[in-house]
Structure 1
Amino acid sequence: MLIWAVWLLAIPPIFALGIFTVEALFGTLRSKPVAMSGRHPSVCILIPAHNEAAIIEATLERLRPLLSDSIRLLVVADNCSDDTALLVRQAGHTVVERNEPARRGKGYALAFGRDHLQAAPPDCVIVFDADCETDAVSIATLAEFCVGTRKIVQARYVLSADREAPAKVQISNFAFWFKNVVRQRGAARLGGAAVLTGTGMAFPWSKFENAPLASPNIVEDLALGLYFTGIGEAPVYLEQATVVSAAASEAATLAQRSRWEHGFLATARTHGFRAIFSGSTDPNQKLFQLGLHLLVPPLALLLLASIAVLLLLAVVGLLTGYWLAFAALASTVGAALILVFVNWLIEGRAWLTAGALLRIPLYLIWKLPVYLGFARGHKVDWTRTERAGDGAEAVPRD
């Protein structure tokens, strides 16, 4: 009975670490560029914006050179209490305003923007966050690939690298890159669906017009990816198109990670095993793999949980002499850490200095409140994140 109990304790982290390790292994090297059709479809860049007056003008100026007769811009000023809408109009762009405080969330903003586009729909809608930047090649590549393949496409989405930032910001940005690039590449090479990340998402109009957008889910992008994968329209990852978002300030990093990770964990808890079951019975390989992906918690939580279990297994080993489960878990932890280090050497040093890398143990302790908050059932809503260099409020709502 003791051996059974020991393995029941060890198997969950071993399983999650195994999935993480396989994705990381297959995602270690860059993807090859794919050929474009050369066609120039009509595109609408759709930006949901909530109280973005501090940065919206700069974003619009960055996007202005990308716009043309075939590429237009629509901003949804969603439940704003500042001058976001006014600033967009003054810059000469189209903006629609939504005021429904009882229906908060990015999904509602996207649905509102879609309603406005119904009168003259584009071939492709690219969802773009108000703090992001990209380039003309990435927009054209996203649109051409999206319309040419008739698939939902997710661009390479990373946070801006700042090797001068505090260590916990660097580590958070590195973890974000690892999840959105390394694991995305790995999942794609294994034949799985791309995980939608909320910005840099391109939709053929035929799919966007019927998508279940209006949702309060704070990770509506993840839920949307699950929906489309479940109906056989799995999103694909396109690494040669890139979207970059400003990193959160040091004060806001914990709040930002709380919002993202609480939303991910809640969706994973609700849909992870369901996706695995549905994917194996339909069958739907991409849904099955996406379900497996959801069973891997954020890296910091995965390491914290694995270390805690390792300590318990070490105590059992000292008391009973049974070390097999400890050795199995220690091996999977070691393999995962080796792949994280290899990827850091290859590409990750752009986000994380060697000095900051050594502070990862302190970062894990710093992240404990995020997971304790989730365990206590704290709820976070869609709020604007404070970026480095601005003064916006960034406290999630509990």
Structure 2
Amino acid sequence: MQLLIWIISVLVILLFAFLSLAIFYLFLLAAFWWLRRPGTSGKIPPQKRFAILIPAHNEEAVITQCLKSVQNLNYYEQFYQTFVIADNCSDATAQIAQEHRATIWERQDSKKRGKGFALAWGLARLKLEDFDAVVILDADCIVRENLLPAFNQRLLLGQQILQACDGIHNFRQSFLTYLLYLGNLVENFLFYGGRENLRLSSFLRGTGMCFSAALLQRQSWESFSETEDLEFSLKLLKEGISVNFVPETCVLAIQPTKFQTAYTQKRRWAKGTFSLIRRNFTKLLGQGIRKWKFSMVEAAFALLLLSRPLLIYLNLLGIFLALAIFSSKGQTLFWWGIVLLLAQTLYLGSSVFLASDKIKALRSLLLAPFYLLWLLLVQLTSLKGGEKPGWEKTARENAKA
């Protein structure tokens, strides 16, 4: 019995030590966002030429609003061109895109299915020498008018890979979308914004990505997993190429308003992310240590922090195990866990100060435990089975802003 208690004590100490480091790091990133928030810079005239690439699989329900927002970009029309990759489509996606003055590339390949394969095919087909940069968007997103001006300015500074904020268009529509909106505020500004201010490389997020054409001529797209964006980020990092976060602009996605609809999306993200961490964490950490590259060691640690709810689950597990230790050491560990849990609550609760409607944000956060319980069940189910190639689509809803 004493041996079992000793083993549990050691496990809890190691777990809480990791969580202490993780939470300190998250607060450090947040502090760098609050203390060094970017100011507004003067307007720079369009100089860079952009290709906007939109991979789409049966997106007739949502692609119209995406293309309309692209047409309304505050940028000279002759300086950008839109390409839609209608990938294995059986609906009117291609026809709708053509009606909105996009160049249509139709692709049929029953074996190589999925966004990663569609992007690789489209980038290989694109005449990169005709453009300065390529922007990749999801078909269900809406872009802010300043997307290309913001990218234009960063490219003129010599930055090669850019990632815009990943926002939510219909965040007012339901309790679920508002909680996702609050989580995105923390993700965008306190995590990625802090990383940018610390001059740390960000992770690509699938949509709102911008690559210099010169880089794409040297780096072919070879990421085909369910988390092809993160996979490509790590590939670039290993080669010493950073991703810059651009908080000045945003792409807004339509998120599911119902839990049953959101299940597929969240399960796919969790499955892909956990698989990516398993495949890359030890390799990235080992390479970083061997090569004495802080950027790789830091990125390996940051991978473990991609799911903030997971840190809460581990925290609660540690508290539960501490309660099983009937001794003064168990009480000390218990209160250590409580302090960590309060710190995590404070960190996530800081989204209230970033939200436009602070009263609604507070009310929504009171119901967050129910969301976390649902998300835990989703993440547990994601552990069954490996990644499957192809488009695993989230059912579309008629969303309003």
Paired residue for 2:368, among 360, 367, 371?
A: 360
> Partner residue of 1:385?
394
The 8 Å contact of residues 47 and 76 in structure 1, kept in 2 or not, is answered as yes
Q: Deviations over 1:215-265 (max 9, x none)?
A: 331110001111111111111111112111112231321221111122111
| TM-score normalized by the length of structure 2 | 0.88
> Partner residue of 2:97?
88
The 1:336–1:314 alpha-carbon spacing in structure 2 relative to 1, beyond 3 Å, is same
Is the partner of 2:237 in helix, strand or coil?
helix
Please give the alpha-carbon distance, in whole angstroms, between the structure 2 residues aligned to 1:243 and 1:172.
15
CA RMSD of aligned residues (A): 2.5
Question: How much has 1:149 moved relative to structure 2?
Answer: 1.1
The 8 Å contact of residues 157 and 180 in structure 1, kept in 2 or not, is answered as yes
Q: Structure 1 vs Structure 2: percent identity of aligned residues?
A: 23
Please give the alpha-carbon distance, in whole angstroms, between the structure 1 residues aligned to 2:396 and 2:184.
15
The 8 Å contact of residues 33 and 239 in structure 1, kept in 2 or not, is answered as no
The 8 Å contact of residues 176 and 257 in structure 2, kept in 1 or not, is answered as no
The 8 Å contact of residues 146 and 249 in structure 2, kept in 1 or not, is answered as yes
Please give the alpha-carbon distance, in whole angstroms, between the structure 1 residues aligned to 2:360 and 2:267.
21
Please give the alpha-carbon distance, in whole angstroms, between the structure 2 residues aligned to 1:321 and 1:278.
37
Please give the alpha-carbon distance, in whole angstroms, between the structure 2 residues aligned to 1:326 and 1:353.
30
> Partner residue of 2:67?
60
Q: Deviations over 1:79-121 (max 9, x none)?
A: 1111111221233220101111211221111111112213754
The 8 Å contact of residues 46 and 127 in structure 1, kept in 2 or not, is answered as yes
Question: How much has 1:41 moved relative to structure 2?
Answer: 0.9
Q: Deviations over 1:251-281 (max 9, x none)?
A: 3212211111221111112112322222233
Is the partner of 1:58 in helix, strand or coil?
helix
Paired residue for 2:384, among 362, 365, 376?
A: 376
After the TM superposition, which of the residue ranges 284-293 and 94-103 deviates more from structure 2?
A: 284-293
> Partner residue of 1:50?
57
> Partner residue of 1:326?
334
Please give the alpha-carbon distance, in whole angstroms, between the structure 2 residues aligned to 1:168 and 1:14.
32
Paired residue for 1:31, among 28, 37, 46?
A: 37
Question: How much has 1:6 moved relative to structure 2?
Answer: 1.4
1:275 matched to 2:284? The reply is: yes
Please give the alpha-carbon distance, in whole angstroms, between the structure 1 residues aligned to 2:10 and 2:170.
41
> Partner residue of 1:190?
198
1:254 matched to 2:263? The reply is: yes
After the TM superposition, which of the residue ranges 67-76 and 325-334 deviates more from structure 2?
A: 325-334
| TM-score normalized by the length of structure 1 | 0.89
The 8 Å contact of residues 155 and 242 in structure 1, kept in 2 or not, is answered as yes
> Partner residue of 2:86?
77
Please give the alpha-carbon distance, in whole angstroms, between the structure 2 residues aligned to 1:370 and 1:359.
18
After the TM superposition, which of the residue ranges 143-152 and 219-228 deviates more from structure 2?
A: 143-152
The 1:232–1:13 alpha-carbon spacing in structure 2 relative to 1, beyond 3 Å, is same
Q: How does 1:191-230 map to 2 (within 5 A)?
A: 191-230=199-238
The 1:12–1:275 alpha-carbon spacing in structure 2 relative to 1, beyond 3 Å, is farther
Corresponding residue pairs, total: 388
Is the partner of 1:323 in helix, strand or coil?
helix
Is the partner of 1:149 in helix, strand or coil?
coil
Is the partner of 2:218 in helix, strand or coil?
coil
Is the partner of 1:102 in helix, strand or coil?
coil
Q: How does 1:29-178 map to 2 (within 5 A)?
A: 29=34, 31-33=37-39, 35=41, 38=45, 40-66=47-73, 68-118=77-127, 120-160=129-169, 162-165=171-174, 167-178=175-186
Name the amino acid aligned to 1:243: V
The 8 Å contact of residues 183 and 351 in structure 2, kept in 1 or not, is answered as no
Is the partner of 1:19 in helix, strand or coil?
helix
The 8 Å contact of residues 173 and 351 in structure 1, kept in 2 or not, is answered as no
Is the partner of 1:322 in helix, strand or coil?
helix
Please give the alpha-carbon distance, in whole angstroms, between the structure 1 residues aligned to 2:308 and 2:144.
30
Question: How much has 1:52 moved relative to structure 2?
Answer: 0.6
Gapped regions of structure 1 (runs ≥ 5):
391-398
Q: How does 1:265-344 map to 2 (within 5 A)?
A: 265-296=274-305, 298-316=307-325, 318-319=326-327, 321-344=329-352
The 8 Å contact of residues 124 and 143 in structure 1, kept in 2 or not, is answered as no
The 8 Å contact of residues 249 and 387 in structure 1, kept in 2 or not, is answered as no
Please give the alpha-carbon distance, in whole angstroms, between the structure 1 residues aligned to 2:39 and 2:266.
31
Q: Deviations over 1:165-200 (max 9, x none)?
A: 0x3332233223322332111222333211110111
The 1:319–1:19 alpha-carbon spacing in structure 2 relative to 1, beyond 3 Å, is closer
